[in-house]
Amino acid sequence: MQNSLTAKKLFVIIVIRQVIKLSINNYNNFLSKITQNNCFDFKNKSVSTDIHRKMMLNRCLQMFEYEGLPDTIPQRDLELQLLCGGCVAVTEVKGELYSFNGGLGGEPNVYYMPTIFTVSNPALNFSANLKIDKDCIVIPSDSLYLGLLPIIDKYASFLTETELSIYLNIINTRIIQVFTASDDDTKKSAELFLQHIQQGDLGVIAENAFLDGLRVQQYATANTTTQDLIECLQYLRATFFHEIGINANYNMKRETLNTSETSVNEQALLPLLDDMLKQRQKGFERVNEKYGTNISVKLNSIWENKESVSRETTEENTNENENI
């Protein structure tokens, strides 16, 4: 009886170990598939550009913070609509508020602005030509209804080209010398000679014909090219951050900036950011008036701090200039 129980316990332990081993193997296979399918290919420019575009959008989605949004208008989706589409229309569908991308049209008003917003949403089975300010409230991302996608696409393309250039430049730095052979035998001998050197063995040349048929040419590479490309990459990234209101650490002067120069840089960050915030605030004020909501929007984290610090610096510099 005791031997039977011992055998059963041993069997259970073996089964548990096999299950654990199988689970670990399955998990490792799963991770292997993920990493294998997501290897970054610098030479695939369309994929690289798409990755840069998504990463930039990820950063831009954190620019604003909303309070009072209904559950039917998630902040992430609202900002994606504004940043990518340039504007949204907020209207009621089946008693709930929704935001939609769509087409602007209709007979222009006195300032040649559209009067109709066309919406088609299969998920809600809703299609309509909404009269702006009567059937819906249109909220632009900025004064010209552009969104940030044009800026993001531009810098994503620039970054892709620059990173590819850096990648090719790094590969080319491996080429120190170029060997040219006059015939196949000399080519094979040269390959064997280089293989021995790579393996750490001493290469031996047995015939003068090898030296006569082989020519070695120095492959000149510019040492400054890689540095210039890296500086270009840093400049592009910093310029993109400047566009969306973040002062990235990049200085073309390669010198220390004084206070006035820093202040000018800080002030240059504000116009687009201020315009985007203003359009959202004005838009949701109209939404609150029409639909009785209490939605508010403000700058988020680093953008809010950056704006307040920049305005304080500007006021200090103004007071100093007045006192002179």
What is the pLDDT averaged over residues 76-96? 95
pLDDT at 267 over 60: no
Closest CA to 230 of 165, 290, 179, 278: 165
Tokens of 70: 């209904």
Comparing 18-32, 57-71, 122-136, the range with the smallest average pLDDT is 18-32
pLDDT at 64 over 50: yes
pLDDT tens track for 140-193: 999 999 999 999 999 999 999 999 998 888 877 776 666 777 777 777 777 777
pLDDT band at 4 (very low <50, low <70, confident <90, very high): low
Tokens of 73: 């208008």
pLDDT at 319 over 70: no
pLDDT tens track for 203-258: 555 556 555 666 666 665 555 688 888 889 998 998 898 888 877 666 555 555 55
Closest CA to 273 of 238, 242, 314, 244: 244
- Which residue has better confidence, 191 or 320? 191
Amino acid of residue 163: E
pLDDT of residue 314: 46
Closest CA to 250 of 242, 258, 323, 95: 242
pLDDT of residue 242: 85
Check the CA dihedral 138-68-272-322 and report its sign: positive
- Which residue has better confidence, 36 or 80? 80
Tokens of 190: 């040269």
pLDDT at 76 over 90: yes
Q: How far is CA 149 from the centre of its chain?
A: 11
Burial string for 83-110 (b: 16+ CB within 10 Å, else e) reads: bbbbbbbbbeeeeebbbbbbebebeeee
Distance CA 142, CA 82 (A): 9
pLDDT tens track for 89-121: 999 999 999 999 999 999 999 999 999 999 999
pLDDT of residue 264: 46
Task: Tell me the percentage of the chain whose pLDDT exceeds 70.
Answer: 65
pLDDT of residue 145: 96
As a whole number, the mean pLDDT across the chain is 79
CB atoms closer than 10 angstroms to residue 154: 14
